Amino acid sequence: MPLKFGTSKAIAIAFGVLTVSSIGGMLTMVILFKAQTQNVTMTPPPTMPTTTLAPPPQMRLPKSLVPQKYEIVLAVQLYTKIIEEGNGSNPNITTPNQTMIFTGNSTVHFQCAQKTMSIFLNSRNLNVSSPVVLNKGANRNIKVSGLKHYDDESDFLELELMDALEAGGNYSLYLSFHGEVSDNLEALYLSRYTDGIFDYESVDDPNADRFIAATNLQPTDARKVFPCFDEPDMKAVFELTIIHRRESRALGNAAPRENNIIDDEWQYTIFKPTPKMSTYLFAFTVVDDSFTFTRSPISNTDRVEINTYARPEAIDAGHADYATEIARKLLRFYESQFELKYAMEKIDQIALPDLYPAAMENWGLITYQEGFLLYQEGVSSLLHKEDIATVIAHELAHQWFGNAVTMKWWNDLWLNEGIATYLSYFAVDSVEPTFNIKEISIMNDLHDAFREDALASSHPLSPPPDNITTTNEILGMFDSISYSKGAIVLRMLANHVGEVVFNKGLQMYLKAFQYGSVEKDDLWEYIQMADNQNRFAKAVRNTDDIAGFMNPWTTQSGYPVITINTTDGQVYQKQFLFNNSVNSSNSWTVEIEFISNASSQFEKVYLYNNKPVNKEAFIAKNGEWFLANINCTGYYRVNYNPENWERLLAQLQKNRHSIPLVNRGQLIDDAFNLARAKLVNVTLALNSTLFLTKETEFLPWESAVRNLEYFILMFDRSEVYGPMQIYLREQVRELYNFFKTYTDDDSVPQNDHSLQYTQLLAIKLACSNGLPECVEMAKQKYAAWMKSNNTNSIHPNLRSEIYCQAVAAGEKEEWEFAWDMYQTSSNTSEKDQLRRALSCTKKIWLLSRYLDYTLDPEKIRLMDVGSTIYYIAQNAAGQALAWNFIRANWDYVSQGDGAMLIAGVTSRFSTEFELEELMRFQNYNLGGGAARAVSLAIEQTQVNIQWVKENKDVVLQWFEQKTSSVRQKEN
């Protein structure tokens, strides 16, 4: 699944004060914590059995049995529509009730590797019966003496046998079972929509209700659909038969082989066998037969059929066209990049009205939230297209990395997610070069990883497998570390060995492990092989031990700050932690690429742990500056002696172009974060933003805004905020004016997407800091829309920001108009923009009403509850409300993503009182993801309290001084 795609980057930039990466990062976490829905209540934790049940002493299945193939029959009784006939005039016609039951049976074929008297599988929330164990060699049944369900987190189903299974023997196990379709987005679950939504009359017509049964099984929910060996390396072939209603259509991982009518009510669909794959990738959906699709034109060169399914209105309006076309291009890109064909004959992409997370890479049947698949030309923001392309690129990369080659266990989840994230940079760049988003995406991931990995409570990219056993621990792995740090560390390796060698290594690794399972050492081995074949690189580089270079980055948490002193040439490393009272002895092999203004050459040195490097290289003899980590290819921060900092900042003000674009942003980011960790003065960080008055590129601005965001969160309830707003307003004035003619004309710079990002950022920063012409512009455009009788002439890119600013500056009327538009719009991206804008009001009573709406699924879909509350909490006026609200309604609101909620709601916490409240909240049993988020929030709050205490006066003074000089200039 995609990590950071709970939100549109475009919208994220535009929203509130928040930035691309902070929203991205937090929403990311969202994805993961869906599993503990109903069970996560304020009850004491389940006590583990202390008795001595013979195996298993832990959560993992014994490896005595090796599954090979499942034959699964599932009867899904759900009606996809229920039409009331006769309008009640004929009392003899009874309308059926919806039925959530599913029944099924399965036969799993397996080989015995080690003699055993019992079979262990995983099963949860299923009523299992009638076991039949067959010794296939002897064609003889083996009696089952007991069927036992473990009432703990292992979810074990144990079958005790009368005769032993012998090593080397082939067996099968038949089970019959039934269960219930879930109502909360997990396992086999129900999704709803209204047919003919464009026809507003029909919204309240129960005959227009449509129902979908869909699956979402990662990481451990396959066991809720059929009893199975539910571990990623226990791969098998799946042969699925679905029995479903006559008026419905069933989709599975593989193409259908056969479809037959049973009677008036029922039909069945038999699917072809899947490739050998992990249980979490198993998927099917049952949709109404009106749910239709866009097919990619099949040409001679395309073996694979790509079908994009969505609500009929969306298909008819062409909203699935972009997704279909881009998937085709991406698939071609990957096939040639990997030199390995996609393994199946079709890919279905389906837009589900309800899904959590944003998308899931099930082999051959990829599921998406509608907002990440459907694109409406002229209504959706152009930047939204990038999100769609990026999510599809991520999910398609998984068809190889994740599906064909899978991590052995969840501790190495980053091998799936880090690689898919890394590959999507190149894939999108290749098929949509005008988007120009490679650097922006990379920097997003770098900053997400930097932020999370600077806390002492972070975890290694690849922890020992025994540390990750329960479902909650597994869910905790779906975070910025696995996705973003994973991608960034791979990028560092690619830079180290060269992209050509890196890609060659990936190709060999894919071929070697196709349909198999891997751990990180397997990747190192194949990159090493590719590197060894490349003699030239070996000759010029003095480290050629890939595992030795990489393991410190993957087995230790955190990352270093490299300190370079250009007066004496000293260079050393130290783990970078926000809390500098934490001791750490971690160290890394660091490849330092640097330039100086004294030489045009790009140079490279290595820092091995703390062995000294060539000091001469870094001595400034004639007052020159040095700049290290060129283009941020290394996963580390850089600090310098004050003189070098001064020279770099002076260079930025004099002629910023001597410093590469990516580094212009990174200098700001390093300065602010080093200040947070008390390694430099906070005034140095603030000084690093002075050059921005002339800057028009996105990355430096984004970096400043993201970092000042922290100042805003810490100070927007204090007297620092006034002068700070004046400073920001003055800094952004020129940038706002740079785009003014575009903005006023409802247009955007056409050929450069990064300029489109900058335009949005300029509007956001200008309006939220009260630049009068900006606020006026937003109010006027919104008022014109309100008056216009449903014609909206605001440019799609600018809508989210203008809605938000107009609602913020507006009254009840503006808010209610946005609410009406939200309720009646059928366009997902428009709805999302409005849902966000509604949280921008400064009126407490409206925010409070809006929070109450989140409890009503008719108003706010369950999958949107978490992000809606998150948005409200980002608003200074809504934060305290949101904190009270989530505590009062925790069971309901945490169903989506408790972790994200906690991160969002506590982001301003900086007082002892807030810390105490958090600690009290920690005493509830919150479940894995959320409990971890509370610990992170506690650590962060402690850091914040200290930071505010130490910095408030000097920050206030700096802003007062800067703004007074600005005022004098103006006079």
Ligand X SMILES: *[C@@H]1O[C@H](CO)[C@@H](O)[C@H](O)[C@H]1NC(C)=O
In the complex, which residues of this chain contact ligand X (CB under 6 A)?
A: 73, 75, 90, 92, 94, 96-97, 105, 174
* Residue 790, binding choice from ligand X, Zn ion, none, Cβ under 5 to 8 Å by partner class: none
β-bridge pairing 560-564 and 637-640: parallel
Nearer to Zn ion, 239 or 395 (CB): 395
* Least distance between Zn ion and beta carbon 849 (Å): 36
DSSP 196: T
* Dihedral angle computed from the Cα positions of residues 693, 602, 674 and 716, in that order, rounded to the nearest 10 degrees: 20
User: Which lies closer to ligand X via its Cβ, residue 109 or residue 717?
Assistant: 109
Q: Which residue number, 106 or 827, has a Cβ lying nearer to ligand X?
A: 106
427: Cβ contacts below 8 Å, ≥ 6 apart: 330, 333, 334, 337, 393, 396, 397
User: How wide is the angle at C-alpha 872 spanned by C-alphas 186 and 386, nearest 5°?
Assistant: 65
Q: CB under 5 to 8 A by kind: which of Zn ion, ligand X, none does 92 bind?
A: ligand X
CA separation, residue 551 to residues 242, 452, 477, 490, 506 (Å): 45, 19, 18, 12, 18
The reply to whether 358 sits near Zn ion by the rule CB under 5 A is no
Q: What are the structure tokens assigned to 380, written together? A: 């959706």
What Å distances lie between residue 857 and 35, 209, 867, 886, CA to CA?
19, 15, 14, 16
Tell me the closest approach of the beta carbon of residue 917 to ligand X, in angstroms.
Answer: 44
Residue 940 contacts residue 705 (beta carbons within 8 Å): no
Least distance between ligand X and beta carbon 782 (Å) = 47
Q: What is the dihedral of CA 700, 705, 711, 717, to 10 degrees?
A: 160
Provide φ and ψ at 486, rounded to 5°: -55, -50
Write down the least CB distance from residue 73 to ligand X, Å.
4
Q: Is 816 annotated as a binding residue?
A: no
394 is in an annotated binding site: yes
Q: Pick from ligand X, Zn ion, none: which does 1 bind, CB < 5 to 8 A by kind?
A: Zn ion
Binding mask 650-689 for Zn ion (x = CB under 5 A): ----------------------------------------
Q: Which does 66 bind (CB under 5 to 8 A by kind): ligand X, Zn ion, none?
A: none
3 state SS of 364: coil
Q: How many residues does the chain have?
A: 971
* Binding partner selected for residue 260 from Zn ion, ligand X, none, CB under the kind-specific 5 to 8 Å limit: none
The one of ligand X, Zn ion, none whose footprint includes residue 97, by CB under 5 to 8 A per kind, is ligand X
Query: 724: exposed, middle or buried (C-beta count within 10 Å: 0-12, 13-18, 19+)?
Result: buried
Residue 162, helix vs strand vs coil: strand
793 binds, among ligand X, Zn ion, none (CB under 5 to 8 A by kind): none
Specify the residue, 1 or 315, whose C-beta has the smaller distance to Zn ion.
Answer: 1
Q: What minimum distance in Å lies between the beta carbon of 420 and Zn ion?
A: 5
Task: Name the binder of 73 from ligand X, Zn ion, none, CB < 5-8 A by kind.
Answer: ligand X
- Residue 380 CA to residue 19 CA, distance in Å, equals 20
Closer residue to ligand X, CB minimum distance, 75 or 508: 75
- Asked if 843 and 808 count as a contact pair (C-beta separation under 8 A), the reply is no
Residue whose structure tokens are 């988003």: 437
Tell which one of 1, 26, 250, 373 touches Zn ion (CB under 5 A).
1
Residues 397-436, one symbol each (x = binds Zn ion by CB under 5 A, - = not), give --------------------x--x----------------
174 vs 710, beta carbon nearer ligand X: 174
What pairs with residue 178 in β-bridges?
A: 103, 127
In angstroms, the Cα distances linking 208 to 28, 88, 92, 932 are 34, 17, 22, 42
Q: Which residues pair with 65 in a beta bridge?
A: 112
Min. distance of Cβ 827 from Zn ion in angstroms? 26
- Residue (94 or 622) nearer to ligand X, CB: 94
Token pair listed for 799 = 């809508």
Do residues 767 and 13 lie in contact, with contact meaning Cβ atoms separated by under 8 Å?
Answer: no
- Cβ 71 to ligand X, closest distance in Å? 9
If you write DSSP's letter for every residue of 100-160 in order, what string do you get?
-EEEEEEEEEEEESS-EEEEEEE--S-EEEEEEEEETTTTEEE-EEEEEE--STT-EEEEE
**What does 96 interact with, of Zn ion, ligand X, none (CB < 5 to 8 A by kind)?**
ligand X
Rounded to 5°, angle at Cα 833 from 831 and 312: 30
Give min distance, CB of 361 to Zn ion, in A.
6
- Interatomic CA distance for residues 814 and 781, integer angstroms: 12
Burial (0-12, 13-18, 19+ Cβ within 10 Å), 540: exposed
398 is in an annotated binding site: yes
Give catalytic residue positions: 395
Q: Rank residues 85 and 912 by Cβ distance to ligand X and give the closer one.
A: 85
Nearest distance from C-beta of residue 104 to ligand X, angstroms: 7
Cβ distance to Zn ion smaller for residue 400 or 819: 400
Give CA separation, 729 vs 578, 726, 774, 959, in Å.
29, 5, 10, 12
Distance, CA of 825 to CA of 893 (rounded, Å)? 24
Nearer to ligand X, 108 or 407 (CB): 108
Which tokens sit at 1?
């699944």
Annotated binding site: 394, 398, 417
Annotated binding site for Zn(2+): 394, 398, 417
Chain contacts with Zn ion (rule: CB under 5 A):
1, 417, 420
